[in-house]
């Protein structure tokens, strides 16, 4: 008796003209976020990044520039590698300053101090790599910095006096002193620039907000002294190396992150390739409704999934109906990601002759 009741129930639905079918959710997987990554390399100028729709967090990795070598072999120090998660807003414009390496006595882009002149010139300091909330023209305020990776100090004019690398913390490491009495430039700290080494001219200089100090000059000294290395840039720049018979290395800048940054890590880079990399989970694209009429239900599900849509309510004109004969909304409609499209199934549409 129960079997007979079931048959009568199914037939009554068929006679009524429509059979309800529960929608499937498999096609919604296309709306999941997909990891994306972009890397910026040095250009000698400012670069920008527009936060994509649906993105509220960026994982940023910044590498500061390496200090340049001194004229006779004092090795430049490596910059810092800083990573952090940054809170952002969709559509927000970020300003990226990828620091340059020191080249000879020239300091790297974005604050590297120049190497000091002398019998052998010191190497220029490495530029800092940082992410800002406003363009360079807005100034160097720390409140505008989201993340800063310091540059390494420039090498002293001669071989015995390498520049400093960033020491893996928020302040750089103390440089190796060269021969003589000049002394290396001291690293920047989270709150102040590093003082420079001594020079025969007696002029005291220090690193400053965002900028490394120039290496001390050996020109005009009673002996043919080599120039000191330039200070590396950073939150605060390192001091320039002092002058001596070999020249002394410049100090590295300091690194750190600003408000809205979490999980910050600071270590010493080992590649010598400054960069800024941003990784984020891209939100799903909008649902652009595809044409479904003329396709079977299985094919329609795939088309909707690929278009960031999903199947909504499905109705059949009779129990054996398999072909889409009507859809709502119509093809081409643009809806939010994961929007449902209603489908009516019937007999296979006849081709027009």
Q: What is the CATH number of the domain that holds 302?
A: 3.30.10.20
The pLDDT of residue 162 is: 65
The pLDDT of residue 23 is: 40
Say yes or no: 239 and 333 in one domain.
Answer: no
Say yes or no: 78 and 215 in one domain.
Answer: yes
Is residue 1 a part of any domain in this protein? no
Is residue 304 a part of any domain in this protein? yes
Q: How far apart are CA 246 and CA 240, in angstroms?
A: 14
Q: Categorize the per-residue pLDDT at 311 as very low, low, confident or very high, splitting at 50, 70 and 90.
A: very high
In 3-state terms, what secondary structure has residue 277? strand
Say yes or no: 276 and 134 in one domain.
Answer: yes
Neighbours of 162 (CB within 10 A): 29
The pLDDT of residue 14 is: 32
Is residue 198 a part of any domain in this protein? yes
Q: Categorize the per-residue pLDDT at 80 as very low, low, confident or very high, splitting at 50, 70 and 90.
A: very high
Among 251, 266, 283, where does a domain finish? 283
The pLDDT of residue 182 is: 63
Is 73 a residue whose pLDDT tops 80?
no
Say yes or no: 244 and 256 in one domain.
Answer: yes
Neighbours of 54 (CB within 10 A): 14
Strand ranges (DSSP E) for 106-200?
A: 129-132, 145-149
Is 317 a residue whose pLDDT tops 90?
yes
Q: Categorize the per-residue pLDDT at 38 as very low, low, confident or very high, splitting at 50, 70 and 90.
A: very high
Q: What average pLDDT does the segment 139-157 reach?
A: 90
Tokens 């430049």, residue located: 76
In 3-state terms, what secondary structure has residue 54? coil
Say yes or no: 198 and 217 in one domain.
Answer: yes
Is 18 a residue whose pLDDT tops 90?
no
Is 276 a residue whose pLDDT tops 60?
yes
Say yes or no: 181 and 69 in one domain.
Answer: yes
Say yes or no: 20 and 138 in one domain.
Answer: no
Is residue 158 a part of any domain in this protein? yes
**What domain count does the chain have?**
2
Is residue 8 a part of any domain in this protein? no
Range of the domain at 310: 14-32+284-346
pTM equals 0.73
Kindly report, residue by residue over 166-217, the tens digit of the pLDDT. 433 344 444 444 334 467 788 888 889 988 888 877 666 899 999 999 988 8
Burial 242-262 (b: 16+ CB within 10 A, else e): bbbbbbbbbbbbbbbbbeebe
Is residue 306 a part of any domain in this protein? yes
Say yes or no: 231 and 213 in one domain.
Answer: yes
In 3-state terms, what secondary structure has residue 8? helix
Neighbours of 46 (CB within 10 A): 15
Q: How far apart are CA 139 and CA 198, in angstroms?
A: 30
Say yes or no: 273 and 294 in one domain.
Answer: no
Is residue 241 a part of any domain in this protein? yes
Residue 144 has what DSSP assignment? G
Among 250, 267, 283, where does a domain finish? 283
Say yes or no: 23 and 51 in one domain.
Answer: no
Among 283, 300, 324, where does a domain finish? 283
Q: How far apart are CA 300 and CA 150, in angstroms?
A: 54
Q: Categorize the per-residue pLDDT at 327 as very low, low, confident or very high, splitting at 50, 70 and 90.
A: very high
- Which strands form 93-97's sheet, in the order they lie side by side? 47-50, 93-97, 129-132, 145-149, 256-257
Say yes or no: 333 and 271 in one domain.
Answer: no
Residue 236 has what DSSP assignment? B
Is residue 202 a part of any domain in this protein? yes
Say yes or no: 270 and 313 in one domain.
Answer: no
Burial 284-320 (b: 16+ CB within 10 A, else e): beebebbebeebebeebbebbbebbbbbeebbbbeee
| Mean pLDDT across the chain | 83
Is 318 a residue whose pLDDT tops 50?
yes
Q: How far apart are CA 27 and CA 300, in angstroms?
A: 10
């Amino acid at each position: 008796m129960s079997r007979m009741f079931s048959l009568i129930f199914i037939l009554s639905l068929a006679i009524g003209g429509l059979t309800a079918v529960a929608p499937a959710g498999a096609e919604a997987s296309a709306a999941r976020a997909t990891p994306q990554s972009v890397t910026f390399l040095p250009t000698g100028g400012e670069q920008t990044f527009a936060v994509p729709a649906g993105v509220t967090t960026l994982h940023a990795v910044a590498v500061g520039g390496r200090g340049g070598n001194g004229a006779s072999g004092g090795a430049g120090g490596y910059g810092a590698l800083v990573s952090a998660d940054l809170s952002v807003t969709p559509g927000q414009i970020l300003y990226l300053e990828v620091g340059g390496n020191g080249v000879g006595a020239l300091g790297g882009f974005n604050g590297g101090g120049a190497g000091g002149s002398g019998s052998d010139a010191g190497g220029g300091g490495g530029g800092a790599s940082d992410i800002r909330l406003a363009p360079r023209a807005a100034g160097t305020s720390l409140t505008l910095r989201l993340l800063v990776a310091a540059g390494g100090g420039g090498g002293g004019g001669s071989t015995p006096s390498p520049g400093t690398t960033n020491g893996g913390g928020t302040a750089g490491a103390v440089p190796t002193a060269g021969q003589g009495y000049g002394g290396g430039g001291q690293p920047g700290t989270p709150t102040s620039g590093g003082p420079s080494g001594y020079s025969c001219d007696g002029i005291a200089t220090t690193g400053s907000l965002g900028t490394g100090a120039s290496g001390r000059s050996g020109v005009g000294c009673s002996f043919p002294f080599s120039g000191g290395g330039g200070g590396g840039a950073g939150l605060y720049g390192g001091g320039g190396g002092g002058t001596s018979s070999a020249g002394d290395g410049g100090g590295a800048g300091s690194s750190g992150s600003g408000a809205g940054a979490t999980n910050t890590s600071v270590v010493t880079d080992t590649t010598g390739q400054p960069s800024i990399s941003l990784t984020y989970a891209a939100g799903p694209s909008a649902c652009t409704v595809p044409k479904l009429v003329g396709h079977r239900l299985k094919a329609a599900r795939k088309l909707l999934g690929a278009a960031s849509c999903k199947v909504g309510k499905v109705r059949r004109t009779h129990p054996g109906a398999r072909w889409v004969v009507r859809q709502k909304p119509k093809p081409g409609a643009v809806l939010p990601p994961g929007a449902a499209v209603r489908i009516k199934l019937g007999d296979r549409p006849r081709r027009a002759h």
